[in-house]
C-alpha cells in the first residue's frame, strides 16, 4: 500500500480557501440585492414592488444590516486556518447576535409584510420553519461551545448558516425559470424553487456534518483498544 503523503502547501491552501470562496460567491447576489434595497430605502427611491418595505422600513433595514456581515463573515468561519488563530472566536461572538437578528427579523417580516407576488401559504410556512430552525440552531450551537462540545457547536452553526444561506441557493434554483420561462413565477413553481434552495442547503450541511462526525467518531472497538493500551 502506498503510504499517505502529507498535504502539500498548495493542497492546504486549496482546502482552506475553496469552501469559504464558494460560500462568499453564493452570498454575492443576496448581498448586492440588500445593498441596493437599503440604498433605495435611504434615498427614497423605491420601485413599485418594494413599497411594502418603504411603508415600514425598520424590519427589512435591520434584516439587511444583519445578513450582509453574517453571510460574508460566516463564510470565513469555515476556513480551518482562520479557526486556529483567534479570529474564529472573535468573529463568532459577533456572528451569534447577527445570525439571531437575521433569523428573527426574517420571521418578523414574514408576519408583517404583505406577501410579494408569487408567494403563498407554502412559502409562508417554509419561512416560519427556516426562521425558527435557524434561531434554534444558533442557540444550540452557542450552548454547545459553552460546554466545550466543539463538534456539536460546528454541526449546529453549520446548520444555521445553511438555512440562512438558502437566500443564496434560491438565486440558483430560480435561474432556470428566469432564463427559460421569464416573468413572475406562479405560486406552486415559486414554492418549489424556494423550497429546493433550502432543501439543497440542508442536505449539503447534513452531508458535511455526517461525514465529519463519521471521520471523527471513535468506534467501541477502537475505544476498547485505546483503553487497553493506556493500562499497559
Using CB under 6 A, list all residues that contact ligand HEM: 30, 33-34, 37, 60, 63-64, 67, 70-71, 102-103, 106-107, 109-110, 113, 116, 127, 130-131, 134, 164-165, 167
Give min distance, CB of 73 to ligand HEM, in A. Answer: 11
User: CA 132, CA 202: separation in Å to the nearest integer?
Assistant: 14
User: CA 225, CA 53: separation in Å to the nearest integer?
Assistant: 62
Give min distance, CB of 56 to ligand HEM, in A. Answer: 11
CB distance 98 to 79 below 8 Å: no
Q: Which residues contact 19 (CB under 8 A, 6 or more apart)?
A: 75, 78, 79
The nearer residue to ligand HEM, 46 or 81, going by C-beta atoms, is 46
The nearer residue to ligand HEM, 81 or 132, going by C-beta atoms, is 132
| Helices 166-176 and 187-216: angle between axes, nearest 10 degrees | 130
Give min distance, CB of 16 to ligand HEM, in A. Answer: 23
CB distance 6 to 14 below 8 Å: no
The nearer residue to ligand HEM, 63 or 153, going by C-beta atoms, is 63
- Closest-by-Cβ residue to ligand HEM is 106
The nearer residue to ligand HEM, 7 or 97, going by C-beta atoms, is 97
Give min distance, CB of 37 to ligand HEM, in A. Answer: 4
Give min distance, CB of 13 to ligand HEM, in A. Answer: 27
User: CA 194, CA 171: separation in Å to the nearest integer?
Assistant: 9
The nearer residue to ligand HEM, 26 or 145, going by C-beta atoms, is 26
User: CA 37, CA 59: separation in Å to the nearest integer?
Assistant: 13
Amino acid at each position: 500500500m502506498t503510504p499517505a503523503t502529507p498535504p502539500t502547501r498548495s493542497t492546504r491552501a486549496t482546502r482552506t480557501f475553496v469552501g469559504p470562496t464558494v460560500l462568499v460567491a453564493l452570498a454575492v447576489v443576496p448581498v448586492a440585492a440588500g445593498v441596493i434595497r437599503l440604498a433605495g430605502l435611504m434615498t427614497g427611491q423605491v420601485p413599485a414592488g418594494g413599497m411594502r418595505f418603504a411603508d415600514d422600513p425598520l424590519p427589512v433595514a435591520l434584516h439587511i444590516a444583519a445578513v450582509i456581515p453574517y453571510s460574508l463573515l460566516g463564510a470565513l468561519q469555515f476556513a480551518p486556518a482562520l479557526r486556529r488563530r483567534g479570529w474564529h472566536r472573535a468573529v463568532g461572538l459577533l456572528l451569534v447576535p447577527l445570525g439571531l437578528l437575521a433569523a428573527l427579523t426574517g420571521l418578523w417580516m414574514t408576519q408583517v409584510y404583505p406577501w410579494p407576488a408569487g408567494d403563498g401559504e407554502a412559502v409562508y410556512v417554509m419561512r416560519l420553519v427556516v426562521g425558527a430552525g435557524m434561531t434554534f440552531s444558533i442557540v444550540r450551537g452557542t450552548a454547545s461551545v459553552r460546554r466545550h462540545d466543539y463538534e456539536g457547536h460546528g454541526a449546529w452553526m453549520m446548520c444555521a448558516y445553511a438555512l440562512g444561506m438558502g437566500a443564496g441557493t434560491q438565486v440558483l434554483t430560480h435561474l432556470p425559470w428566469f432564463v427559460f420561462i421569464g416573468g413572475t413565477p406562479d405560486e406552486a413553481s415559486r414554492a418549489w424553487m424556494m423550497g429546493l434552495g433550502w432543501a439543497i442547503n440542508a442536505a449539503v450541511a447534513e452531508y458535511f456534518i455526517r461525514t465529519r462526525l463519521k471521520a471523527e467518531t471513535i468506534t467501541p472497538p477502537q475505544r476498547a483498544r485505546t483503553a487497553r493500551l493506556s493500562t499497559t
